[in-house]
Structure 1
Amino acid sequence: MGRPDLLNRTLGFAGSVAIALSGLAAGALPQRDPFANWPLIRELRAFPPVPIACAYVGLALLCGAWLRLRSTLDEQRPADLVRTLLCWAGPLVLVPPMFSQDVYSYLAQGAMVHEGLDSYKFGPSALGGHFAADVPDIWQNTPAPYGPLFLRTAAAVVNLTGEHVVFGVLAFRLIALAGVALVVLCLPGIAARFGVPVQRALWFGALNPLVLLHLVAGMHNDALMIGLMTAGIYAAVRRHPALGTVLISAAALIKAPAALALLTVLVLNPKAWARIGLTTGAALAGLQLASGLSTGWIGAMRTPTSVRNGLSVSTDLGMLLSAFGWPGPMQIIRTIAAVAGFLLAGWALLRAPNPIAGLGLALSSIILLGPVVHPWYVLWAFVPMAAGLRQVPRAAVWGSVGLSLFLLPTGAPGYPQAVIAAVFGTVAGLLYLRLRPPAPVPATVIASAPPTVTASVPAAVTASVPAAVTV
């Protein structure tokens, strides 16, 4: 690996370390934090704006390293990028939850299932106790919007870790890491099948700062959903439609949007439509029945729409019209936007260069015109886009950077001092990047760089997909 690559890896690692240190003091901390009185942590928490500024210095360095890495992809092997991912993700593995408090809802909902309470009818307030105390007020009385497979997983975590919040959080991080690992393992094979440079697919789909911040540090259940969906697509690419259908059905029973990937299985295996349809029905019904839970999650999917964070175009427009005195425009505008999103999704599926790119673009349309948008939602679309598009849209790259800076590490709404600290930290990080421009690629490396790069994919793929991918 050349000097520029090593510098980018080191720069991103420094950013991750800064983010991890800030998480000890300004992460999404539980009320009963056993580390609160540890000497170093106690001092870091004495003045919260300091660790918040530290987090944003780290975010600027991490995003800068990611952007600079793009120009060196031609000189790297996929294995080099995986090592970089491990280097950047390592500091974030043992820190408290960051950028979101959702993991505490997962623990509370798992405890509800464990105690026999219907989390599709009641919110965490019905459970009470310290699990419910860590759940933000906005979610205290809302039913769980997640599928039964995830709630059973959450219940298994609580059954294993008991009332130990720290161990429960670490268990959910292991689950999230398993989802990320599935993406890393399966993305190269999908990309190689459609002639997409494997290095570029890994760079955008796995090394994306949003993956590190919201799937690793934030440990959202979207990690497992995306991982299973990617594994299902990979199985379909390998002409195992039944296995792909089961994996994607499992992903949909974690979060419903993954079900759109079933269309990809149909397109990739056009002669097996009947078998795919039967397998889908059997998988969904079998997993639902095996969970022993009700189908209340279908109606509860509207729960996230109670959030208004400024990222949803339809919700922002509805709020703007409401401010001017228009009666009840919110639901109308949201409905119109959702219909438009699905129409655009259908158009994208038909016009995209391949079914994987179509899935990514279709999910992008549904997300961007949906009633609620969180930064990690875009990863539903970005991962398949990474494997299906030969050129990553500039808007998606810069959107990843912008969304990486959108949320405070506390996972809570901002306040003036925190916003000032975030701006100060970002500017400090950008100034450092300005003072340390990217190292030039050595002329010897440019002269000797081959026109093609061998795609490093799992051994099972090499029998049926091209071994060389033009970059």
Structure 2
Amino acid sequence: MGRPDLLNRTLGFAGSIAIALGGLTVGALPDKAEDPLVHWPVIRELRHFPLLAIAVSYVGIALLCGAWLRLRRTLDEHSPGDLVRTMLCWAGPLVLVPPMFSQDVYSYLAQGAMVHEGLDAYKLGPSALGGQFAAEVPAIWQNTPAPYGPLFLRAASAVVNVTGEHIMVGVLAFRLIALIGVALVVLCLPGIATRFGVPPQRALWFGALNPLLLLHLIAGMHNDAIMVGLMIAGIYAAVRQHPALGAVLISAAALIKAPAALALLTIVVLCPKAWLRIGAAAGASALGLQLASGLGTGWIGAMQTPTSVRNGLSFSTDLGLLLGALGWPEPMQIIRTLAAVAGCLLAGWALLRAPNPVAGLGLALSSIILLGPVVHPWYLLWAFVPLAAGLQRVPQAAVWGSVGLSLFLLPTGAPGYPQAVLAATVGTVAGLLYLRMRPPVATAPLAVAATS
């Protein structure tokens, strides 16, 4: 690895350190439970200046995104192993911080505790549980049922069974689950990419080192990590001519979050002669896991739960709100339905017209997500990870969208307020100014060409 690449790795590591420092100070910290970091030197002092900590986090995000973009210029000079080592360097500080950019992990704990206590998490919200687990769940989710599949709720129940009432220990257990999902992505992407003639270095760069993945699947520890990891592992199994195993893995992913089921079409196209085995394995595993969970099928109806969030990223929801403000009678449901139909039609077109079935999966999921009723930044990773392995060229919109969405959420995981948005803006500008003052160092061949 040459000097420019070492500088990129160091730049990204410095960014992760700054993000982690902000996370230790103004991350999605527990509100009611004992915070073990409250008496730490430096952290204790920084907590008196939360706006400064937010600015520091955004300096770090700018540096991390800058390092990621600069790394793209030298991908051909790297081995996949180099990129994995770079990812470990960038991800390391984020493994050690409290939850960041989202408070969802506290909902996972509360829902796991509900299952553990015999309550129906598909009919009741955390408020029915009460106690310290429910106290950490944001108010918007207190009376809403769990939108996740039974496999995830059983895993959440197992976490609570092991960690008991120690909330921060439970949080770390969910980060471990997320890291398993990320590890599956890292292990499987190069093999899938090679199958379709995509350089594995580029697949790892866009699919694994993507700032969205580092910030939201590792620091944010969303259950999308294990869902995407199992889905990609299933596709890799099919690429290696193990379609039945692939079907089982994808079925497990779908019982965490349902959109992963679309990948079953991908492995049918990859292994068309094994369609009967794929169908039998998928059906048997899904039915077996569903029955073994003992949680029923209430999760299917509860998938509507996330639509109560309006964060400005959903085109259909924004259009519905605009038309409602202009006096149209109840336009939201109509617009969302039309957009969902359009998303499904575009997804079908993408599956038919894409250069290969993995790219088709990524494009289809992109259509469904972008025209869906609710869009969170980490949802795009459902599509970006398969796109990384299936497309010969990564669209610029996806690259810059990753950067823009990395800046979208505050480290607190709570809605923004004017002073926090100003602090985030100042931090981002400071990070960009530093990048401007430290332009990329030319690679060795370019340097030679410049002097000849």
Question: TM-score higher than 0.5 here?
Answer: yes
Could you say which residue in structure 1 is the equivalent of 2:419? 417
Offset of 1:35 from its aligned partner? 2.1
Could you say which residue in structure 2 is the equivalent of 1:372? 374
CA contact (8 A) 1:182 1:227 kept: yes
Offset of 1:34 from its aligned partner? 2.6
- 1:211 equivalent to 2:213? Answer yes
How do 1:210-249 and structure 2 match up within 5 A? Answer: 210-249=212-251
Residues 337-386 of structure 1: per-residue CA shift (max 9 Å, x gap): 00000000000000000000000000000000000000000000000000
- 1:146 equivalent to 2:161? Answer no
- 1:17 equivalent to 2:25? Answer no
1: CA distance between counterparts of 2:68 and 2:448?
A: 20
How do 1:449-460 and structure 2 match up within 5 A? Answer: none
Could you say which residue in structure 2 is the equivalent of 1:455? none
- 1:269 equivalent to 2:271? Answer yes
Could you say which residue in structure 1 is the equivalent of 2:190? 188
Q: Which of these residues, 335, 338, 347, is aligned with residue 337 of structure 2?
A: 335
Offset of 1:42 from its aligned partner? 1.7
Q: Which amino acid aligns with 2:104?
A: D
Offset of 1:445 from its aligned partner? 8.8
CA contact (8 A) 1:208 1:400 kept: yes
- 1:309 equivalent to 2:311? Answer yes
1: CA distance between counterparts of 2:446 and 2:142?
A: 60
Offset of 1:272 from its aligned partner? 1.4
1: CA distance between counterparts of 2:230 and 2:383?
A: 14
Change (3 A) 1:2 1:273: same
Could you say which residue in structure 2 is the equivalent of 1:163? 165
CA contact (8 A) 1:75 1:445 kept: no
| Unaligned residue ranges in structure 1 (runs of 5+) | 448-471
CA contact (8 A) 1:35 1:41 kept: yes
1: CA distance between counterparts of 2:204 and 2:436?
A: 26
2: CA distance between counterparts of 1:34 and 1:279?
A: 46
- 1:384 equivalent to 2:370? Answer no
Could you say which residue in structure 2 is the equivalent of 1:279? 281
1: CA distance between counterparts of 2:104 and 2:267?
A: 31
Q: Which amino acid aligns with 1:249?
A: S
- 1:48 equivalent to 2:76? Answer no
Q: Which of these residues, 391, 394, 397, is aligned with residue 395 of structure 1?
A: 397
Q: Which amino acid aligns with 1:19?
A: I
> What percent of counterpart residues are identical?
82
2: CA distance between counterparts of 1:143 and 1:47?
A: 36
Offset of 1:446 from its aligned partner? 8.0
2: CA distance between counterparts of 1:224 and 1:283?
A: 17
Q: Structure 1 length normalisation: TM-score? A: 0.94
Change (3 A) 1:175 1:446: farther
Offset of 1:292 from its aligned partner? 1.1
Q: How large is the Cα RMSD of the aligned pairs?
A: 1.0
Offset of 1:413 from its aligned partner? 0.2
- 1:179 equivalent to 2:174? Answer no
Residues 83-113 of structure 1: per-residue CA shift (max 9 Å, x gap): 0000000001010000000000000000001
Return 24-33 or 244-253, whichever deviates more: 24-33
1: CA distance between counterparts of 2:90 and 2:39?
A: 28
Q: Which amino acid aligns with 1:88?
A: W
Could you say which residue in structure 2 is the equivalent of 1:460? none
3-state SS of paired residue (1:39): coil
| Unaligned residue ranges in structure 2 (runs of 5+) | none
Q: Which amino acid aligns with 1:183?
A: V
Q: Structure 2 length normalisation: TM-score? A: 0.98
